[in-house]
Amino acid sequence: MDDPMPGPAPDRGGDTRPAAAPVPSLWRERDYVGWWSGNTVSALGTSVSAIAFPLLVLFATGSVAKAGAISAANLLGVLVTTLIGGALADRFSRKAILVTGPLVQGGALGAVAVAVKAGHTPIAFLAAAAAVSGLAAGIITGAQTPALRRIVPREQLALATGQAMGRDMAAELLGTPLGGFLFSIARWLPFAGDAASFAFASLGAAFIRRPLGPDRTAADRAGGIGRDIADGIGFVRREPFLRFTVLWGAALNTVGQAFTLLFIALIRHRGGGPTEIGLISSLALIGGLAGAVVGPAVARKVRARIVMYASAWSFTGALALAAAVPRPWEIGLVLMLGMMAMVPLNIVLQAWLVHVVPDELSGRVAAVGRFGTQGLEWTGPLLAGLLVALFGVPGAVVALAVPTAGLAVALHLTRALRILDRPMSETDGGREGRAAPGRATAVEAS
């Protein structure tokens, strides 16, 4: 565990550059390059195994339900440890978490590779391995956000967020066909590749030189994990901006999960087959990549409120237009534009969250945000099925645009976004967030 230091935590351990000094390229920061490279290889490996798991189950049993159970086990594992991971990241060495967590995931995937090669792949075993990987992922994600804010200068966090999102989308774009190719060579090979990829994530974290924190005294840690989780929840509840974005994000993610299923159903309804579905899905990822490239520049040059308004209304329009266009490739083009517009919204929100939340609470608050925004995603496919039963496939997509439009209107009506009208320097270092747990903050009082 990192040695605790009294006093407020600096956002970048060891960063002594004068405020007026020019900020160097992130690619000249050894810590950032190591972290980014390791996570890039790991993201590619995860995308490979993500397609290999359902392929393995479908080829072995032919059951879609059993294939879905593997994915559900992984997602539930992540959800179970998300809040705990945030508390651990603000209590114990973040570097240790980022080094050891991927090794646990690698061990789980390595066990799957060995079992598949030996011809022993019971569903219970596969689900258990997926759950273990998910449990470790929930712990790891709790340390990633607070660690990144120590590695990256505050003024470059939007750029780093965009690069991370682009990396993950590129990994998914490349990993899906790669996973299918490796599976066709040997069914165990995708899982072995993913197991090896986690070692790169662990090495990338191990070679980070900058202290990642947390810088908490023994007295700060006296309350226990439960108290830490409660502090994170309490901070979100007291901050109007955080409270709104968590609730709004939960609704948006539910709609997004519903549309993911409706998107496939709509392409099929328009006459597209499996190949077309794969190619058109790639168009959406390309749109997301483009959004990740331009997103940091948009975040710097366009007011945050305008970015959020434009993204929400663009997504609403994309839903309505996708239901109207007659050809599968046109659906893909519409979705590509919609994804391009949505990614800058995430970049803007991530940048502002860092400026609102103090370092000593960053792991817990980020975990609460993830738990809140992802907690209802499982209802999205159920919503999609209900809408199709009521209105048919095109009608379901149009119906889904109604709550999306409501979310866009909510952005215009809420007072919680008033903080976005301030310069970021006024909230720098989570100044409002420096209030101790249980006390009102300047954001709420304004």
Q: What is the 3-state secondary structure (H, E, C) of the chain?
A: CCCCCCCCCCCCCCCCCCCCCCCCCHHHCHHHHHHHHHHHHHHHHHHHHHHHHHHHHHHHHCCHHHHHHHHHHHHHHHHHHHHHHHHHHCCCCHHHHHHHHHHHHHHHHHHHHHHHHHCCCCHHHHHHHHHHHHHHHHHHHHHHHHHHHHHCCHHHHHHHHHHHHHHHHHHHHHHHHHHHHHHHHCCCHHHHHHHHHHHHHHHHHHCCCCCCCCCCCCCCCCCHHHHHHHHHHHHHHHCHHHHHHHHHHHHHHHHHHHHHHHHHHHHHHCCCCHHHHHHHHHHHHHHHHHHHHHHHHHHHHCCHHHHHHHHHHHHHHHHHHHHHCCCHHHHHHHHHHHHHHHHHHHHHHHHHHHHHCCHHHHHHHHHHHHHHHHCCCCHHHHHHHHHHHHHHHHHHHHHHHHHHHHHHHHHHHCCHHHHHHCCHHHHCCCCHHHCCCCCCCHHHHC
What is the reported pLDDT for 346? Answer: 85
φ and ψ at residue 258, rounded to 5 degrees: -65, -45
Of the pLDDT bands very low, low, confident and very high (cuts 50, 70, 90), residue 433 is very low
Cα–Cα nearest to 303, from 351, 339, 338: 351
Of the pLDDT bands very low, low, confident and very high (cuts 50, 70, 90), residue 222 is low
Q: Where in the chain is CATH 1.20.1250.20?
A: 26-222, 230-445
Q: Side chain identity at 288, as an amino acid letter?
A: G
Question: What are 262-278's pLDDT values in tens digits?
Answer: 887 888 888 887 667 76
Choose from 45-54, 137-146, 390-399, 402-411 the range with maximum mean pLDDT.
Answer: 402-411
Question: What are 160-178's pLDDT values in tens digits?
Answer: 888 888 888 888 888 878 8
Q: Side chain identity at 384, as an amino acid letter?
A: A
Q: Are 135 and 201 spatial neighbours (Cβ–Cβ below 8 Å)?
A: no
Q: Are 233 and 108 spatial neighbours (Cβ–Cβ below 8 Å)?
A: no
Q: 230-445 in CATH: which number?
A: 1.20.1250.20
φ and ψ at residue 372, rounded to 5 degrees: -70, -45
User: What's the chain's length in residues?
Assistant: 446
The pair of structure tokens assigned to 15 is 């960063």
HSE value, Cβ hemisphere, 13 Å, CA-based, for 47: 19
Report the range of poorest mean pLDDT among 3-12, 284-293, 352-361, 425-434. 3-12
Cα–Cα nearest to 212, from 110, 359, 398: 359
Of the pLDDT bands very low, low, confident and very high (cuts 50, 70, 90), residue 221 is low
In the CATH scheme, what is the homologous superfamily, with its name and number, of domain 26-222? MFS general substrate transporter like domains (1.20.1250.20)
More confident residue, 324 or 263: 324
Integer Cα distance of 11 and 430 in angstroms: 10
Looking at the chain, the whole-number percentage of residues with pLDDT higher than 70 is 87
- Using the predicted structure, report yes or no on whether residue 306 has a pLDDT greater than 80: yes
Report the range of poorest mean pLDDT among 67-71, 197-201, 402-406. 67-71
Q: Are 312 and 403 spatial neighbours (Cβ–Cβ below 8 Å)?
A: no
Residue 193 to residues 111, 248, 270, Cα–Cα distance (Å): 12, 37, 36
Q: What is the mean pLDDT of residues 255-266?
A: 83
Looking at the chain, the whole-number percentage of residues with pLDDT higher than 90 is 35
Integer Cα distance of 69 and 299 in angstroms: 39
- Using the predicted structure, report yes or no on whether residue 442 has a pLDDT greater than 60: no
